[in-house]
Structure 1
Amino acid sequence: MEGESERFQGKPVVVAPGGTKIIAVDEKAGEDVELVETGTSTVPHFPKTIHLPSSSANSEDTEYTLLGLGIRTVSFLSIQVYVVGLYVQTSSLASLQKNLIQSVNPMASALIPDEKDELKKRLLDGEESHKIWNTLLTDANSQLNMAVRIVPTRSTDFGHLRDGWVRGITSKTQTLSSTGPSEFADDSFGAALKEFKTLLAGKGKAPTNSVIILKRDTEGVLTVLYQSKDGVVNDFGRVQDERIGRLIWLGYLGGKSVSSEGARKGVVDGVMELVERPVGSVETKVS
């Protein structure tokens, strides 16, 4: 592997001995970063694990593991906009595994092939996928810390990114409101949405290969982080209302129409790896 395209955050990308892994070699730190191929030459790799600031000010950075990724495209020409990956705090993987397994078979510790097929069908179904993820995201016992990592494949700006998320939030609320009383009709939700818009206002451009992180903690608090191409990380702030982050997550994972069907399928593939192993034996593995 040679050339500028075969570098990840300035580090050379190589195939590890044995040919089973792709890694970025960090000679200074002495640590290698395992990579996952994305399917696009513009942003060819995503890290298998990332480290993000803990919600607790006194805690060290926390490891998150990639569950799945895909490419967001727009228009009938399928123009690539960004690569998006869903990460789960590594220590939360067992909880996610348990909840997904028990959504199919409450008595099981792992899913057999027929049950896996049933879960996969549900996670790709418009109505069922919404129910499963909405339940996971609202259940305080789920204890899920998750993050969405976005890397633009073409230069964009935070105005466009914000508008896309807001359109998705609005679409979800309209769909849900049409089926009965809505939890999104009160003034506090409108204020939270305005807060999210303000958070991203005037933030300027997000060039190719910059990194945007949306982090959602166990309380549903949404934090927005941005890493420029030179590696500097900025904390844009947070939205306390759990509904904002939940609707953004559902925009990628639940419902008939999602922001990236490829990303949803990638996440489902990662889920299938989780649920075939016994509860509590989760490894940080994403193929």
Structure 2
Amino acid sequence: MLLSNCLKRGPFTGLRGLKRAKPIVSCARRSASSAVKGQLSKTKRSNIALVYGAAAGIAGIATLASFDKLWSDANIKDNAEATVNVDSSVSPFPTKLGPPELPLSTEYMLLGYGFRSVTFLSFRVYALGIYIADQDRHLIPDVLDSKFMSTAFIDTDSSKTHSDNVKAALDDPSKSSVLIGNVLDSGARMLAKLTPVRNTDFNHLRDGFVRTILNHPEAKDNQEKLSTGLAKLKEAFTEKGKVAKDDDLLVELQANGGLQFSYYNRKKDQVVAMGHVDEPLVGKYLFSQYMSGPKPLSPSTKESVATHIAAMV
């Protein structure tokens, strides 16, 4: 049997390629067996050995490729138009979220996604999605136009497109804070969806929000306002106890800068509206830490948001 006959099942990529390569190895083995029984010439036996070797090599490459994809942090793929797979251990994230299924003020579209990791322990804590109100998407190109870039004293490269310059600024630790800060100041409504990849509790999530906000570069200059706002944030966590893996905590940044917290219990299929925070700095600093700055809470989410914003301007 010729090599071309054994290789008709391609292509050979990823796990699917590994499955398709297995029949080729079997095909080559049958060919080798026929060669022995028919006492083929040494030349023909050599050709069949080459077929077997090529098929085995393809299977090996497919295996290595599969393991590379399984272990790579970059393996965040769009599963379909309606959902994206952010982390294999939790449910896919919808690309659209809104009422009446959830206690949100409007419909939101996915802007970027990634995960939060605890570096020193080397494990992921939760998957994170950042959404923007569908009606406010126009604010991104409106705010981040060429005039804004020049008046904000952000250096641009005349040889690059506006989109490329915006992406470069969003990749910069200090410039990204300026760009994202102005988008948030424009009144753009945002939504953060946090889905734990392991069991946790409300106190842990609440304390994480407080630390994130206090770590914002401008937090020290606004301690009085933040102190009042963070006290309200702690009160907003009306739910107590455990938060199971794959449940959702939703944080809506409203047009007036206030934050609304909601919780979705996946096992019970139940949504609970929690408390509200009025202080605008709390919401601004929280979402700024998700999408910009020198030490973003989730670098993968920051990069995803930057890529999508650059494509919108």
**2:227 matched residue in structure 1:** 190
1:246 equivalent in alignment to 2:290: no
CA RMSD after TM alignment: 2.6
CA distance in 1, matches of 2:91, 2:276: 29
CA distance in 1, matches of 2:255, 2:231: 22
SS at match of 1:82: strand
CA distance in 2, matches of 1:112, 1:211: 44
CA contact (8 A) 1:158 1:206 kept: yes
CA distance in 2, matches of 1:247, 1:52: 26
1:93 equivalent in alignment to 2:173: no
Deviation at 1:95, TM superposition (A): 1.5
Deviation at 1:215, TM superposition (A): 0.2
TM-score (norm 1): 0.72
Which consecutive unaligned segments of at least 5 residues does structure 1 have? 1-19, 24-32, 276-287
Higher relative contact order (CA 8 A, sep 6+): 1
CA distance in 1, matches of 2:105, 2:100: 4
CA contact (8 A) 1:53 1:61 kept: no
Residue 176 of structure 1: which of 215, 218, 222 is its match? 218
CA contact (8 A) 1:52 1:64 kept: no
Instruction: Report the count of equivalent residues.
Output: 228
**2:149 matched residue in structure 1:** 104
CA contact (8 A) 1:158 1:201 kept: no
Mean Cα displacement is larger for which, 239-248 or 95-104? 95-104
CA distance in 2, matches of 1:216, 1:61: 10
CA distance in 2, matches of 1:194, 1:68: 29
Deviation at 1:171, TM superposition (A): 1.6
Q: How does 1:133-152 map to 2 (within 5 A)?
A: 133-138=180-185, 142-152=186-196
**2:249 matched residue in structure 1:** 212
**1:12 matched residue in structure 2:** none
Pick the structure with greater CA Rg.
2
**1:4 matched residue in structure 2:** none
Query: Could you report, residue by residue, the CA deviation over 1:1-60 in whole angstroms, capped at 9, with x for unpaired residues?
Result: xxxxxxxxxxxxxxxxxxx9745xxxxxxxxx811121x210252111111479xx9xx9
SS at match of 1:62: coil
CA contact (8 A) 1:70 1:85 kept: yes
Residue 306 of structure 2: which of 268, 276, 282 is its match? 268
CA distance in 2, matches of 1:134, 1:52: 27
- Higher share of residues assigned strand: 1
**1:284 matched residue in structure 2:** none
1:221 equivalent in alignment to 2:258: yes
Deviation at 1:248, TM superposition (A): 0.7
CA distance in 2, matches of 1:41, 1:246: 30
**1:36 matched residue in structure 2:** 84
Deviation at 1:81, TM superposition (A): 0.6
CA distance in 2, matches of 1:192, 1:166: 10
Alignment CA distance shift 1:34-1:231 (3 Å): same
Deviation at 1:251, TM superposition (A): 1.5
CA contact (8 A) 2:78 2:85 kept: no
CA contact (8 A) 1:220 1:240 kept: yes
TM-score (norm 2): 0.67
1:125 equivalent in alignment to 2:162: no
Q: How does 1:48-63 map to 2 (within 5 A)?
A: 48-52=95-99, 62-63=106-107
Residue type of the alignment partner of 2:231: K
